[in-house]
Structure formats: C-alpha cells, structure tokens
Amino acid sequence: MTEIQLHNTLTRRKEAFRPLDPANVRLYQCGPTVYDRAHLGNARPVVVYDVLYRLLRQAYGAGHVTFVRNFTDVDDKINARAREMQAAGDARPLTAIVRALTDQTIGWYHDDMDALGALRPTHEPRATDYIGQMVAMIGELIAQGCAYAAEGHVLFEVSKYPGYGRLSGRSLDDMIAGARVEVAPYKRDPMDFVLWKPSDDETPGWDSPWGRGRPGWHIECSAMARAILGESFDIHAGGIDLQFPHHENEIAQSTCACGDGTFARTWLHNEMLQVEGRKMSKSLGNFFTVRDLLDQDIPGEVIRFVLLMTHYRKPMDWTNEKAQIARNHLKRWWSLVGPPESHNRNVAAPQEVIKHLANDLDTPGAMGVLFELEKAGRIDELVCGANLLGLLAHQADYDALFDLPWLSSDARDAIYEAVFKWSEERSRRNYEAADKIRSVLHSLGVQPLSNDPNGETWKFTNPDFATDEANDRIIREINEALSEWE
C-alpha cells in the first residue's frame, strides 16, 4: 500500500499518515451553517475532502473509514434569516421557521453536493441533536476551572490553555489585534469565547444549568466529534478561514475537556477561492452559488474538474476559461469511455494516480496521469483513475455534456443549422423570422442558449424524443421551417 503523506497544519510539515486504528480511520470535516444555498467557495472543501475520503477508502477499505461532516442548524445567522422571513409575513413562530429553513437548506445542500459527485459522509449530525452532549462538555470545562458562567453566558477562559495559538501560529496579542474580538463586561479577558449564551422566549433555546439558552458555534463541533469519533481521532479538515478562531477554539476546549487526549492528530486546511482573479463578493457582482452554475447548464462534473485543477493548499481561481477547458476535456474523455453502464469496473485504480493523491492530495498531478493514460489508450485505467477523483461516474454528467446522446448526427446538424439561422436573423434584426425559428425549436424540445453558433448553443429538453422517429421529425420540421426563409 502506498504510504499517504498529508500536510499537517498543526506541525507545519508533511507527515506520514498513520491512523490510530487502521480498522476505523476517522475523519471530521466542519460542515455548513444551513441558512442559504452553498456558494462555490463552500464547495471547494467538500470536493477536496471527498477525494481524501475516497483515497482513505481505497487504502483501508470502504468499511474501515468513518467520515463525519456536520450541519450547524443553531446559529445567529439562521435566527436572523428566520426573522427576515417573519418580517416578510411568515406568521409561524420563530422556532418553526428556523426548523423549516434548516430542513430546506439541508435538502438544497444535498442536491448541490450530490451534483458535484461528492459521496455522502458516514454521519451527518445536526447540532440540535447533540445539545445534551454540548451542555455536558461545558459542565466539564467549568468543573476543571477552564470555563466560567457570567450573566447567563458561559465562556472559555483562554488563559487556562497554554497551547492556545499553536494551530494558527499567532500570539494572543496578534490575535487580539487581528481579530474581531467581542468586548463584553462579563468577559474576564477579551479573547475568552462563548460556550453558551442566553435565549429569549422567542429565540430557539434549551434548558441548562445556566438558564435557557443555546450553544456557541465552537462547542458544537467539539461535542459532535467527540460523541461520534471519540476523544481522539485521525483527521480534522476544513477551509483555511476556519483555522482561527474556530479550529483554534475547538482544540482548546476539547483538549481541556478530555484531559490528555490529543483531539485531532492531523489538521488539513484548504485555501480560499477567487473568481476571475478577484475575491468572491456580492459587492463585486461575482458571487454565485453552486446552484447558479448548475442552472446555467454547467454540469456538476465540470465544476468538480475545475476545483481539482488546483492543489488544495493553493488559492484557486474560478474562470469561465477553466470551465470551458474542463468541459472540453470531459467531453473528449466521455466520448472515449462511453456511458457509465459500459465501463469495466474490474480494473484496479492506477498506481500512478494513487501515488499522486497519496502525496498530500496532489489532484493536479493525478489529473496529469489521466491525460497520459488517455494518450496511451489505457481506457479502462483512465475510467478507474477518474473514478477515484469522482469523475466519469455519473450518467447525468454524460447526458449533460452531450446534450442527450441519442440524437443522430443528421438531427444534430439540422439543429445546429437552425440555431445558426436563428442567430443570423437576430443579428440582422429580423426578429419575426428569428422568433418563428425559435418557436419550431421549442416545439421540438430544443432551447437555444446563446447567439454563438460555434459554441455550446443549445440544449435538448424533451427526453420523449429519444427514438428514430423523433430524429426524423426533428430533421423534417427544421428543414420545412428553414425553407420558408431561403
């Protein structure tokens, strides 16, 4: 078995991965706060650590890897969104709105991440199902003198954990200067962070020894990881934006609560994402969700391919050019390997691909191997290597890239000719002719997408036409429509 090497943020070096128990390799990834659609930056860690999950399953066996990714379904951002819904006319109690909102958002998340080819984790705990474990953990921290209650709050006393700052490599002075530290009269020190906070009668809350309230964000992941994976486990993963304060705080409270436990032994962090060379931001007009891209007919596999083109520890830039490059490569690969049902699944994953992934998840290197396999005509190995990266596996991506493969070449030529004619008439401002051609295309289940006759200009939306008779009808009706304008 190829030795897996991972860059451990905690030690700042690449290390050989040796699990605590090879029969139960344990991985925790911080999941989403569920109040809105996942944006593209949220998708990067999902795809990165999905590849890690696949690699671990390859190395240790699918039944010997436990992967946990949580849902944060109690949070002030969720409460704020629910209050906006109330103000807009939703008459339900706030707690009912919160539950409906989080249920809906979890459903969206599953749909979008499934579209990216991400495997579902072994466990997907909701924070609200582990409130009891959070309360118990907070009680332990108070009993050990590492936390204190004040004015309905419970706070972790950072000065009681000497190792604070080791993960992020910052001193306390640096943290105070560079962080948005909440100054509150009930804090002993500005860096102390909230473990429990009070809730009013309307806001979601639970009974506790410190009054009705709700947990702070950091204690949620510590309690869920401990409950499912134990006091010590192998890997904790997330975006670099979580390194401080979230992961730093997790280490402090979990280590103090569990005594000599090491909590997570290896910490992985992926870098941030940009769009066309700029930070993704609503104010810059370049903010979009995964669903936005899917609705623009960019297949999930294309999105995944682009995300894997850059090593996870380097900043990644999403560009339209990269998306088109990914589309072209995937279309060529799919044309070589055929639909998923025709693939040979009895071929071992190529060692060259595994070697790159085992080298700190070198996905660009692994994809380079796939191109070499393509050139060498090793098609079955290309499929298995791509599958290890979560590519070339889903019928939906095959169909999306080929605009439904049952169209005959003559039917395709007729459609492209009609789309070209439609584009030409629009450019001449002959809108009557263009509209009639478009109407015929719509009646055949064809939707033009752009005015560029050389690009991806249409999609086929009527699967009922998947017959030879339908191909003949497409050719006949398009020819009749075009003959009127010659």
Query: pLDDT for 96-130, tens place per residue?
Result: 999 999 999 999 999 999 999 999 999 999 999 99
Number of C-beta neighbours around residue 77 at 10 A: 13
Phi-psi region of 276 (alpha: psi -120 to 50; beta: other; left: phi over 0): left
Cβ-based neighbours of 207, under 8 Å, separated by 6 or more: none
- In this prediction, residue 457 has a pLDDT band, given cuts at 50, 70 and 90, of very low
Phi, psi for 159 (deg, rounded to 5): -65, -15
Separation CA 443–CA 70 (nearest Å): 45
Work out the burial of residue 399: count CB atoms within 10 Å of its CB; fewer than 13 is exposed, 13-18 middle, 19 or more buried. middle
Answer with the residue of higher pLDDT: 344 or 250. 250
Answer with the residue of higher pLDDT: 463 or 306. 306
If you average pLDDT over residues 311-329, what whole number do you get? Answer: 93
- In this prediction, residue 389 has a pLDDT band, given cuts at 50, 70 and 90, of very high
Residue-level pLDDT at 299: 94
| Contact predicate 41/281, CB 8 Å | no
| Contact predicate 262/11, CB 8 Å | no
If you average pLDDT over residues 25-54, what whole number do you get? Answer: 97
Residue-level pLDDT at 193: 96
| Contact predicate 368/374, CB 8 Å | no
If you average pLDDT over residues 137-146, what whole number do you get? Answer: 97
Beta bridge partners of 33: 72
pLDDT at 60 over 70: yes
pLDDT at 353 over 50: yes
State the Cα torsion 33-297-337-455 to the nearest 10°.
-140
Residue-level pLDDT at 458: 55
DSSP string for residues in 40-77: HHHHHHHHHHHHHHHHHHHHH-GGGEEEEE-BB---HH
Residue-level pLDDT at 451: 47
Would strands 25-29 and 65-69 be described as parallel, antiparallel, or unpaired? parallel
Residue-level pLDDT at 181: 59
Residue-level pLDDT at 99: 97
Q: Take residue 390 and report the two structure tokens written for it.
A: 């979560």
Separation CA 351–CA 58 (nearest Å): 11
- In this prediction, residue 4 has a pLDDT band, given cuts at 50, 70 and 90, of very high
pLDDT at 352 over 90: yes
Phi, psi for 438 (deg, rounded to 5): -60, -40
- Give me the residue label for tokens 């490569």: 329
The structural domains of the chain, ordered by start, are: 5-270 (3.40.50.620), 290-398 (no CATH), 406-484 (no CATH)
Nearest to 137 by CA among 200, 248, 247, 218: 218
pLDDT at 456 over 50: no
- In this prediction, residue 468 has a pLDDT band, given cuts at 50, 70 and 90, of low
Residue-wise pLDDT for 200-213, tens only, equals 999 999 999 999 99
Instruction: Look at the alpha carbons of 172, 178, 181, 183 in this order and tell me if their dihedral is positive or negative.
Output: positive
| Contact predicate 58/388, CB 8 Å | yes
Separation CA 172–CA 330 (nearest Å): 48
At residue 66's C-alpha, the angle toward residues 243 and 193, to 5°, is 30
Mean pLDDT value across the chain = 89
| Contact predicate 38/32, CB 8 Å | yes
Residue-level pLDDT at 455: 41
Cβ-based neighbours of 298, under 8 Å, separated by 6 or more: 323, 327
Q: Take residue 308 and report the two structure tokens written for it.
A: 């894997």
Nearest to 210 by CA among 158, 261, 136, 274: 136
Residue-level pLDDT at 454: 40
Q: Take residue 314 and report the two structure tokens written for it.
A: 């380097």
Residue-level pLDDT at 453: 41
Phi, psi for 27 (deg, rounded to 5): -130, 130
Number of C-beta neighbours around residue 451 at 10 A: 15
250 a known binding residue? Answer: yes
| Contact predicate 62/375, CB 8 Å | no
363-376 and 320-337 helices cross at what angle (nearest 10)? Answer: 40
221 a known binding residue? Answer: yes
Cβ-based neighbours of 383, under 8 Å, separated by 6 or more: 337, 343, 344, 347, 392
Separation CA 286–CA 456 (nearest Å): 22
Model confidence, pTM: 0.83
What percent of the chain is modeled with pLDDT above 70?
Answer: 90
256 a known binding residue? Answer: no
30 a known binding residue? Answer: yes
Would strands 232-239 and 263-270 be described as parallel, antiparallel, or unpaired? parallel
Answer with the residue of higher pLDDT: 422 or 231. 231
| Contact predicate 196/153, CB 8 Å | yes
Residue-level pLDDT at 467: 63
Residue-level pLDDT at 195: 98
Answer with the residue of higher pLDDT: 181 or 153. 153
Q: Of 108-117, 248-257, 395-404, which range is least confident?
A: 395-404
The DSSP call for residue 129 is G
